[in-house]
């Protein structure tokens, strides 16, 4: 069952409010992309490399909006997300470190992928689920804190959608499990993830 337009509006408003709170709480710091690049090379690239396939179930960070990057870091720091390595790293990084990293990654584009191509089925699911309502018209994320979906690794997206469908991970402000994703089959999730990976 799809969320109503009213529910979507509430989700968008809540995301915008959350983004505002994040920026206020963050002190509206200015990130330093050069410092972020050095920190990324030292702390992030070993797992989140855009060229190595060994970590294909981990997300690409390139092109993630600054607000989305910061929101995920806060989720790990507050134990709302529970990957042990990231929870530990989130505790170690300062507010300025995270601003620098967010500035660095927001300025990059995800690499072109050869792992998948778009499909009519995947495109139809994007329309049916109205992904653009929250993630922006080109699915590149928003300044309200929604993540970029276009160009993301298919395996990571499929895994994330399965967690959200089962209620083990939140999907924005939606209930857990998210009713928007409840009726998706594994095949549909794979098709959707492959299509999103093909976008840039």
Confidence of residue 145 (pLDDT cuts 50, 70, 90): very high
Looking at per-residue pLDDT, the higher value among 172 and 103 belongs to 103
pLDDT of residue 23: 42
DSSP assignment letter at 60: P
Burial class, 6, CB count within 10 angstroms (exposed 0-12 / middle 13-18 / buried 19+): exposed
In the chain the domains, ranked by start, together with CATH numbers, are 5-11+112-198 (1.10.760.10), 29-106 (1.10.760.10)
> Using CA atoms, how far apart are residues 182 and 176, in angstroms rounded to an integer?
10
17-49 b/e with 16+ CB inside 10 Å = b? ebbeebbeebeeeebbbebbbebbeeebeeebe
Residue 14 — pLDDT band, cuts 50, 70, 90? Answer: very low
pTM: 0.81
In this prediction, residue 19 has a pLDDT band, given cuts at 50, 70 and 90, of very low
pLDDT at residue 115, as a whole number? 58
- pLDDT confidence band for 154 (50 / 70 / 90): very high
Q: Which of 58, 69, 68 is nearest to 36 (CA)?
A: 69
């Amino acid at each position: 069952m799809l969320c109503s337009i009213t529910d979507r509006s509430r989700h968008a408003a809540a995301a915008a409010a959350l983004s505002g709170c994040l920026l206020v709480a963050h002190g509206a710091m200015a990130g330093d992309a050069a410092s972020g690049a050095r920190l990324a090379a030292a702390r992030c690239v070993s797992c989140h490399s855009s060229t190595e396939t060994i970590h294909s179930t981990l997300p690409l960070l390139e092109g993630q909006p600054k607000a989305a990057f910061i929101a995920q870091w806060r989720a790990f720091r507050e134990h709302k997300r529970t990957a042990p390595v990231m929870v530990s790293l989130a505790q170690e990084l300062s507010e300025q470190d995270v601003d620098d990293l967010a500035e660095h990654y927001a300025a990059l584009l995800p690499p072109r992928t050869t792992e998948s191509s778009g499909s009519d089925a995947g495109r139809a699911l994007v329309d049916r689920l109205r992904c653009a309502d929250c993630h922006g018209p080109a699915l590149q994320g928003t300044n309200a804190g929604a993540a970029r979906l276009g160009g993301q690794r298919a395996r990571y997206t499929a895994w994330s959608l399965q967690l959200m469908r089962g209620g083990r991970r939140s999907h924005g402000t939606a209930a857990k499990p998210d009713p928007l994703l409840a009726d998706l089959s594994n095949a549909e999730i794979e098709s959707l993830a492959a299509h999103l990976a093909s976008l840039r």
